[in-house]
Amino acid sequence: MSSPSGPVVALEDVKKQIELYIDCWRNIEKKFVNGTEEHIQQNFFGNISTECEQKFLIISKYKMHGLSYDAFRKLPIFLIDTQRIQVNHDHYYYWAFAADVYECLKVEISHVYDDDISGRFRLLMDILFLQSHNPSYSNQKDRLERSTRIMIL
């Protein structure tokens, strides 16, 4: 099956990519996880870019908008496994895309979701992306400030 932007990425493809990423890190992790607690935390939250990230992140091979519904829905479960290594760009890309999907569907599902929860979700996403290595930092900062003002009012 394919979409206008290319073939749909199946759940099995996503699982395989995550397994390759974790296996790659098993071979190099001693280099990064030996040391002080501060050093380990710095690595974990620093989005280290190794050969593993270049070859085996989901975003290095697929586009988030190309995921099948099943792969999109279950990806957060698999991303938990990668958190043993680090919070990587797959996490940021997934949640950015999920926030955009929500934004597109929010009118259609507004009878199910509460506006307060919706606002808090957007604020959480803004905070997450503000801390990421997003090249559009200033745009995210402006959005966070707007969201914060809206939530306070």
- Confidence class for position 108, pLDDT limits 50, 70, 90: confident
86 in the Ramachandran plot: left (φ > 0), alpha (ψ -120 to 50) or beta? beta
pTM exceeds cut of 0.75: no
Q: Residue with structure tokens 């990519």?
A: 17
Is it the case that residue 112 has pLDDT exceeding 60? yes
Confidence of residue 67 (pLDDT cuts 50, 70, 90): very high
Q: For residues 67 and 70, what is the distance between their CA atoms, to the nearest angstrom?
A: 8
- Contact of 86 with 43, CB cutoff 8 Å: yes
- What angle (nearest 5°) sits at the alpha carbon of residue 56, between those of residues 52 and 57? 100
The pLDDT > 70 percentage for the chain reads 60
| Average confidence score pLDDT of the chain | 76
pLDDT over threshold 70, residue 152: no
What distance in Å separates the CA atoms of residue 144 and residue 24, rounded to the nearest whole number? 36
Amino acid at 145: E
Residues in CB range of 59: below 8 A, 6 or more apart: 89, 90, 93
Instruction: Tell the residue number behind the tokens 């280099």, with chain if given.
Output: 31
DSSP assignment of 44-61, as one string?
Answer: HHTT---HHHHHHSHHHH
pLDDT in tens, 132-141: 554 445 565 6
Enter the tokens of residue 131.
């801390």
Rounded Cα–Cα distance for residues 96 and 90 (Å)? 10
pLDDT tens digits, 76-104: 999 998 887 778 889 888 888 888 887 78
pLDDT single digits (tens) 8-58 = 999 999 999 999 999 998 887 666 555 566 655 555 555 567 888 889 999
User: Rounded to an integer, what distance in angstroms lies between the CA atom of residue 96 and that of residue 89?
Assistant: 10
